[in-house]
Chain A
Amino acid sequence: MSGPAAGVALIALTAAALPLITRDSYYLDVATTILMNLTLTMSFRLQISTGQINMAHISFMGIGAYASALLVTRAGLSFWATLWIGALVAASLAVPIGSIALRVSGPYYFLITFAFSEVVRLFFNNFFEGLFGGPSGLVGIPKPGRVLGLAFDSKLALYGLMAVMCVVVVLALVRLDYSRFGLTAGAIRQADLVAETLGVNVFRYKLTAFVLGSFVAGLAGVFFAHFRQVLHSSDFGLEPMVLLVVFTVIGGTGSVWGPAVGTILMTIASELLRELHHYEILVFGAVLILTMLFAPEGLVALPSAARRLLRRRRRQATAPAGAGLAP
């Protein structure tokens, strides 16, 4: 347990130390975005860990975001209530949707979840324009209100809130990954039929991961809504979804640290390339292809892969020819 615990502590300490180094609002914005993306990628990895790429993950973020934005602006609820309500709305919609989508697997699953995400996007864009704001977006979402004597009107306070949320989520997901649940999820990813014959209720595990992931995505969505204060349906379309895939798989999905490394690297790269939008997606697309071709386990797995290669080289050099059986 020491490895993962140390990792979470590292994230928490880094997050806590940042305001000591800089209070520049631009850097705080970037750092907040990193933490928000990290929350999303960690929850996305939870689903990938059962071997499913859910192309609608970003939609559950959108559902949480729109639910909270509407409850705050129309019903006058407090952000601190809608934070949970928004996430719960996302999770409860995930139950029927996951139950339908998880009837199929592999390529069918990519496509049905993608179909669902398009339905959600079109819905926010074209229906109930008075409510969702239509193509011009939902504007005028307030920042989180005061709670426990703390005001959340500054960048620093929002950063702090996101940091706490992110560390709690990461801690919970890391614990989950090293629990019986995480082990079972790994077994399902590697050989779901074998897991099934050993008495694992594969469907229920996949659905749990789906709903849990959607809950976290909903949380991140609520924060997103009140952080950006504007929502567009395109914030939850294919482009941000692919970005989420890039963030998650470039680091590698084998361990919980892959998405962390990928998210931090890629969010910073995205900021650096922001002025050159076409180049940004060109570079990201190319990086995604090259990673999958040359480091399919992700960047995090590179050191151990290099070590393995080196060891094999050394063994080949010392062992007589023909002794090795490895292909």
Chain B
Amino acid sequence: MSIELLVQALLNGFGLAMVYVLVALGLTLIFSILEIINFAHGEFYMLGGYITYYAYALFGLNYFATLGLAILTVGLAGVAAERLIFHHLRGRALNAFIVSLGLLWVMQAGAQLAFGVLDKPVPSAFSGVVRVFGLVMSVERVVVTLSAIVLIAALYLFLRWSRPGRAMRAVAQDPDAAALQGVNIDAASALGFGVGCALAGGAGGLLAPLFAVSPAMGALPVVKAFIIIIVGGMGSLPGAVLGGLLLGGVEGLGALFMGSAAVNILGFLMVIVVLLVRPRGLLSGA
């Protein structure tokens, strides 16, 4: 086997993994602020996909404008979900988890009723391929991967430097101390949930042209995001990026040797191995 083939496989794995990292970052952000495992996170991803379908494929809006619209709308939906539902369950992780299962069903069934059960294709925004050193990647995948990386960087800058971002990190560290310093916990929680969902919406928008849009499209990325955050450590943002790179590498290399079903199982095996060695994930501070 040539070295090019290996690098190509890794590149294929990493490309998609960066988008799944977006989904995972949203999950882990929500977990770190609200201590909620949001099982309905994939449904926010699905919303992003449908917004892309309607705005870009049907209405003909610009690709990047559509992406912005998906991020904004799904973010607002996330804020609404926090204010209406999860806000009332703060400190009761078990109940919040169960509610997120209910939300998953409501959103999925709602999408089936509103948009129909059939797959809706979204045309590619970019055509052609890029060749560098004998490696081949479609322009579309390059754009998707770069967009995901830009969004990850934007999240990092937002959390690191902006006032609301710092408030969120303070709440994640210690809600009581944050409140004593004058941080509005309600606002930070709602915003945190919104930002987390917005990332999922952006990921859905990015992947909509690669895969078709359907009510159940959120299941796969959310499972990958779960793997990523367990491996990386829940609540850890660098952990999510590391977990994503690991998953991308393992899946990319695995695809060389085995079928797609076996590759899916590889991710779960990685979870079990990591949990045996480090039960709280690779980069968890706790």
Note all chain A residues with C-beta closer than 8 A to B88. Answer: 293
Q: Measured between alpha carbons, how far is A316 from B97 in the docked complex, in Å?
A: 35
Q: B274 to chain A: closest CB distance in Å? A: 10
Interface status of A265 (Cβ within 8 A of chain B): no
Interface status of B219 (Cβ within 8 A of chain A): yes
Query: Do B85 and A289 touch across chains, with their CB atoms under 8 A apart?
Result: yes
Q: Measured between alpha carbons, how far is A280 from B112 in the docked complex, in Å?
A: 12
A242-B101 contact in complex given A115-B272, A116-B268, A282-B110, C-beta closer than 8 Å: yes
Q: Which of these binds chain A: B71-79, B175-183, B226-234?
A: B226-234
Interface status of B124 (Cβ within 8 A of chain A): no
Q: B104 to chain A: closest CB distance in Å? A: 7
Interface status of B279 (Cβ within 8 A of chain A): yes
Query: Do A112 and B106 touch across chains, with their CB atoms under 8 A apart?
Result: no
Q: A65 to chain B: closest CB distance in Å? A: 20
Q: Which of these binds chain A: B7-15, B149-157, B257-265?
A: B257-265
Query: Do B105 and A281 touch across chains, with their CB atoms under 8 A apart?
Result: yes
Interface status of B275 (Cβ within 8 A of chain A): yes
Query: Do B97 and A289 touch across chains, with their CB atoms under 8 A apart?
Result: no
Query: Do A285 and B226 touch across chains, with their CB atoms under 8 A apart?
Result: no
Q: Measured between alpha carbons, how far is A293 from B108 in the docked complex, in Å?
A: 20
Interface status of B45 (Cβ within 8 A of chain A): no
Query: Do A292 and B230 touch across chains, with their CB atoms under 8 A apart?
Result: no
Query: Do A296 and B92 touch across chains, with their CB atoms under 8 A apart?
Result: yes
- Which B residues between 252 and 286 are near A, CB-CB below 8 angstroms? 259, 261-262, 264-265, 268-269, 271-272, 275-276, 279-280
Identify the closest chain A residue to B36 (Cβ).
A107
Query: Do A278 and B113 touch across chains, with their CB atoms under 8 A apart?
Result: yes
Query: Do B105 and A242 touch across chains, with their CB atoms under 8 A apart?
Result: yes
Q: Measured between alpha carbons, how far is A287 from B264 in the docked complex, in Å?
A: 33
Note all chain B residues with C-beta closer than 8 A to A288. Answer: 98-99, 101-102, 105
Interface status of A114 (Cβ within 8 A of chain B): yes
Identify the closest chain A residue to B233 (Cβ).
A108
Note all chain B residues with C-beta closer than 8 A to A115. Answer: 226-227, 230, 268, 271-272
Note all chain A residues with C-beta closer than 8 A to B185. Answer: none
Query: Do A286 and B264 touch across chains, with their CB atoms under 8 A apart?
Result: no
Q: B101 to chain A: closest CB distance in Å? A: 5
Query: Do A108 and B99 touch across chains, with their CB atoms under 8 A apart?
Result: no
Note all chain B residues with C-beta closer than 8 A to A51. Answer: 94
- Which A residues between 255 and 278 are near B, CB-CB below 8 angstroms? 278
Query: Do A122 and B99 touch across chains, with their CB atoms under 8 A apart?
Result: no
Q: Which of these binds chain B: A21-29, A36-44, A98-106?
A: A98-106
Q: B81 to chain A: closest CB distance in Å? A: 10
Query: Do A111 and B103 touch across chains, with their CB atoms under 8 A apart?
Result: no
Note all chain A residues with C-beta closer than 8 A to B264. Answer: 118, 122
Q: B61 to chain A: closest CB distance in Å? A: 29
Highest count of chain A CB atoms <10 Å: which of B227, B264, B271:
B271
Highest count of chain A CB atoms <10 Å: which of B219, B264, B268:
B268
Note all chain A residues with C-beta closer than 8 A to B280. Answer: 104, 108
Identify the closest chain B residue to A107 (Cβ).
B37
Query: Do B272 and A100 touch across chains, with their CB atoms under 8 A apart?
Result: yes
Interface status of B35 (Cβ within 8 A of chain A): yes
A110-B261 contact in complex given A100-B275, A296-B95, C-beta closer than 8 Å: no
Note all chain A residues with C-beta closer than 8 A to B92. Answer: 296
Q: Measured between alpha carbons, how far is A281 from B271 in the docked complex, in Å?
A: 30
Q: Measured between alpha carbons, how far is A245 from B98 in the docked complex, in Å?
A: 8
Q: Residue B109 contacts which of A238, A249, A281 (CB distance < 8 angstroms)?
A: A281
Note all chain A residues with C-beta closer than 8 A to B230. Answer: 108, 111-112, 115
Interface status of A119 (Cβ within 8 A of chain B): yes
Interface status of A53 (Cβ within 8 A of chain B): yes
Q: Which of these binds chain B: A123-131, A174-182, A201-209?
A: A123-131
A103-B279 contact in complex given A111-B230, A115-B271, C-beta closer than 8 Å: yes
Query: Do B226 and A286 touch across chains, with their CB atoms under 8 A apart?
Result: no
Give 8 pairs: A residue, B residue, CB < 8 Å, sorted on A.
Answer: A107-B37, A108-B234, A110-B97, A118-B268, A119-B265, A285-B101, A289-B85, A292-B95
12 extra A-B contacts, CB within 8 A, seeds A53-B94, A100-B272, A282-B113: A104-B275, A108-B234, A108-B280, A111-B226, A115-B226, A115-B230, A126-B262, A285-B105, A286-B102, A289-B106, A292-B95, A292-B96
- 4 nearest A-B pairs in the assembled complex, by CB-CB distance: A285-B105, A288-B102, A126-B261, A282-B109
